[in-house]
Structure 1
């Protein structure tokens, strides 16, 4: 299926591992020119090299801390200088941070908001003029199912993600006249390096994830794959989703009680 992504320029934040890396791969295989960014230069360089080899197309990389306004500006300016345009922005940067409300300091709140909310705000704001110039574009914000269904002990992440959900809906209305679509994917349990770090080395990885799915009561009975999430994100970014904006899709195997 032709997704209409040939020669489109896509930025994927948090693109060196997990869902971000898988999304960069899927976009590149669909014909997009992809730029990934992340904080760790060594991991990023390896991802760039491996993705270029896997997809047979050049994937570019820029070491960037999206919490830093100057880095965000440098990223967008660098992409436009090298590739001439921006068509797709995938806001994927972020890590899980969860604790009881009374245990959270002002610094913890600020760090989480800087990474998960303000980084996306700044990137979108700077990318919009380039998307307008290109005749439209697609923004996909990666959130989690806690944005709709926050649990006890889930802050600050669920609060940051809920703000990202509101941002998605508001931007979709505001940017629709410019043919810039804005959607979100709400992630549930997906295999990742973050989860892998919690696994006892003596426990088989497949067993580890099977146990996790059972404990979290995932209706489909398993943990999602990063590549499956990437397929959804790539579709939302593509011309095949040209009439989809302002939506937030749960990617959780049916786990969320809120559709």
Structure 2
């Protein structure tokens, strides 16, 4: 299937590794031009060089902090200056710290708000004028917590639900400008984030990450964790012209684990 993204420009946040990297690579494979960003100059430069070498796509790496408005605006401006346009935006950031409600103070909640919810607001606000020029697509990477709250991820439950509501609210407003916006939920995918959560759970239960993973996989109908590339395939589709009549929706990539309707 030709996704119709050849030559289009996509911004992908948090793309030095994990799901963001996988999406950036998939877009590059399909002929997209990709602007990627993360907090580490070294890591994002390595990611850009690797994807460029493997796909021959035009890709550039930028340093940005999802918690900082000036940093976000600078990345948007640099992308417009370097590529000339913006056709798609992927909102992605490392999740808030795991833990239970009574373990977090105001500072922790404020940090989670800025990282997860306010960063989405700022990125959309910054890129929207460019996206409206020719029409485009916005994709937020959220969490299964927006449908089934996770006990140890109380801050993620709250903040990512806010992002989910933001997307639904904006889908109506932006449709007239031919800008689509959707959520994409990863289940248990082989990433460093999931490895870190497994380690956290193992320590709490005096167990091992391997046992935590085995238990989790037993609850997935497909019997395994997903791969970043499988998730990236769904992301590329939602960002592409092939999804031209899809907006305001939430797609789940989880091997059938979620029980909610």
TM class by shorter-chain length? over 0.9
- In structure 1, the residue matched to 2:242 is 240
1:249 maps onto 2:248 in alignment? no
Q: Which residue of 2 is the match for residue 211 of structure 1?
A: 214
Structure 1 residue 45 and structure 2 residue 48: aligned? no
RMSD (Å), alpha carbons: 1.8
Which residues of structure 1 form unaligned runs of 5+?
none
- Displacement after TM superposition at 1:2 (Å): 1.3
Q: CA deviation at 1:40?
A: 1.1
2:56 corresponds in structure 1 to: 56
TM-score when scaled to structure 1? 0.92
User: Shift in Å at residue 210 of structure 1?
Assistant: 6.0
Shift of 1:6: 1.2
Q: Does 1:121 align with 2:121?
A: yes
8 Å contact kept, 1:9–1:34: yes
Q: Which residue of 1 aligns with 2:71?
A: 71
**For the residues of structure 2 that align with 1:214 and 1:55, how far apart are their CA atoms?**
33
Q: Aligned residue for 1:24?
A: 24
Q: Distance in 1 between matches of 2:228 and 2:80?
A: 28
Deviations 1:114-173 (A, max 9, x none): 11111110010111111111x210000000011111133321011111001101111111
Q: Gapped runs of 5+ residues in structure 2?
A: 203-208
Q: Secondary structure at the match of 2:176?
A: helix
- 2:205 corresponds to which residue? none
Q: Deviations over 1:13-33 (max 9, x none)?
A: 000001100100000111110
Q: TM-score, normalised by structure 2?
A: 0.92
Question: Per the alignment, in what secondary structure is the counterpart of residue 114 of structure 2?
Answer: helix
Give, in whole Å, the separation in 1 of the partners of 2:212 and 2:230: 16
Secondary structure of 2:86's partner? coil
